[in-house]
Amino acid sequence: MPKSNSLLLQQPKRGLRILVLSSYSRSLTNFRLELLKSMVRAGHAVVAAGPEDDPEVKADLSRIGVEFAHTPMARASLSPVSDIAALVRLRRLMKTIRPQVIVPYTMKPILYGGIAARISGVPCRCFLVTGLGHVFSQASLNTLKGRAIHRLSVSLYRRAFAGAKAVFVYNDADWADIIENSLVEDVSIIHHVDGSGVDVDHYAFVPPPGEKPVFLMVARLIRDKGVFEYVEAARRLKRQRPDAEFLLLGPVDPNPAAISLQEVQQWAREGIIDYLGETKDVRPFLARCNIFVLPSYYREGIPRSALEAMAVGRPIITTDLAGCRDTVEPGVNGYLVAPRSVDSLFDAMSALADRLELAAEMGRHSRELACRRFDVHLINEILLDRMGLSNSKSPSQNLASRGSRQRQAEKCTTTGQRLSGMGRGISWRG
């Protein structure tokens, strides 16, 4: 909670008081730092709230002029008592801060932050739908419990989104579900953006190692991220290419579908994967690999891990599903595989394991695509403009800036012919 003498409890001279809500404190610095910086540069006073009281996050935010508010919230819990308690805490926080704008992202901050903001009379409510959540997946709707949770979620989303200024979605599937389930009263408030973006200067191009295939998967350790499929494909490929390495990087997660640390350690003992744990800086591990893999069937927005791999210059193997497919131009910078299919994943991984020169060429196209489409500064300009928080005099200035950035991105462009291949269940286009 901000201190009683906090400057953020006062009206800034030329901006607004903004409250950004997260369900994982470290995501504020890992995924939203550039957006928070943009808000501060535009003259706004910003408080960022998260459930873990993380001293490193607090220090990192303080360095850019953002104040941290510890707001406990169980992001994986289905307990009504826990959720009501979170709603009460958020209401209390808003009463203290008196924000004029709230920007929640991920499911629970959107639901309970949105409802608390309506109760508190926050005039400007903008939502970043990084993914509507597993409850909107077909797998969830196939069970009685899943359908009940889906109905409840639809009701809560409608309450949270009522009267919103803007709802930003990262993929067409979430857009369609919002429309189909009538989650908003006015569809004109929905805006499609290309994910949270990536800082292509921070994630600079690194030439890939060329001696042997080194695969890397970066994800939270939950089943729906495709961890089992990755391990099984690695097990098969290891028989063909004993020299290949298969790296797995990511934290253990409280999600009900989490994979235990004991399972992961057993795979490592078998010599299938090398588990790298969790890190604050993924760049050294991206530099170590030459092929990036994310066989996720989780309801993704646009996966940040894939964007970071693209910026560094790695080919992407991921699933042909909403969000993930946005990171791949099939046959150009990677391959799309069938979800939940070890066969399809194995074929794609095998194809690049045997053709590292092709993998390197695809990686150069990944870098070009990251610069052209997913530059975080371009995306943040669009977000602030649509939220009414830009310090530009008019949207045209943002568009001019966008053009400038696109011209700068030409420096990243790699020329070459479209690449093609063939394989079982893999999406290729010549």
Domain that holds residue 86: 12-192
For 67-121, how does the pLDDT look when each residue is reduced to its tens digit (9 = 90+)?
Answer: 999 999 987 666 788 899 999 999 999 999 999 999 999 999 999 999 999 999 9
Name the pTM for this structure: 0.84
Question: 167 and 22 share a domain?
Answer: yes
Question: 228 and 342 share a domain?
Answer: yes
Q: Is residue 25 part of a domain?
A: yes
Of 424, 345, 406, 403, which Cα lies nearest the Cα of 200?
Answer: 406
Q: Is residue 7 part of a domain?
A: no
Question: 247 and 124 share a domain?
Answer: no
Within 8 A by CB and 6+ apart from 206, the residues are: 283, 286, 287, 312, 313
Question: 246 and 138 share a domain?
Answer: no
> What average pLDDT does this structure show over 184-208?
96
Mean pLDDT of the chain: 89
Number of domains in the chain: 2
Q: Is residue 391 part of a domain?
A: no
Question: 174 and 222 share a domain?
Answer: no
Q: Is residue 386 part of a domain?
A: no
Check: CB of residue 314 under 8 Å from CB of residue 286. Answer: yes
Question: 53 and 140 share a domain?
Answer: yes
Least confident of 5-14, 22-31, 379-388: 5-14
Supply the pLDDT for residue 257.
Answer: 74
Question: 144 and 227 share a domain?
Answer: no
Question: 186 and 299 share a domain?
Answer: no
High-pLDDT (> 90) share of the chain, %: 76
> What average pLDDT does this structure show over 248-258?
84
Question: 187 and 228 share a domain?
Answer: no
Residue 243 identity (one-letter amino acid): D
pLDDT at 133 over 70: yes
Question: 25 and 116 share a domain?
Answer: yes
Question: 61 and 99 share a domain?
Answer: yes
CATH assignment of the domain containing 317: 3.40.50.2000
Question: 223 and 364 share a domain?
Answer: yes
Q: Is residue 186 part of a domain?
A: yes
User: What's the Rg (C-alpha) of the chain?
Assistant: 22
Supply the pLDDT for residue 419.
Answer: 34
CA angle, residues 120, 22, 4, in degrees to nearest 5: 55
Q: Is residue 107 part of a domain?
A: yes
What distance in Å separates the CA atoms of residue 369 and residue 311, rounded to the nearest whole number? 8
Q: Is residue 382 part of a domain?
A: no
pLDDT at 351 over 90: yes
Q: Is residue 405 part of a domain?
A: no
> Which of 158, 192, 226 finishes a domain?
192
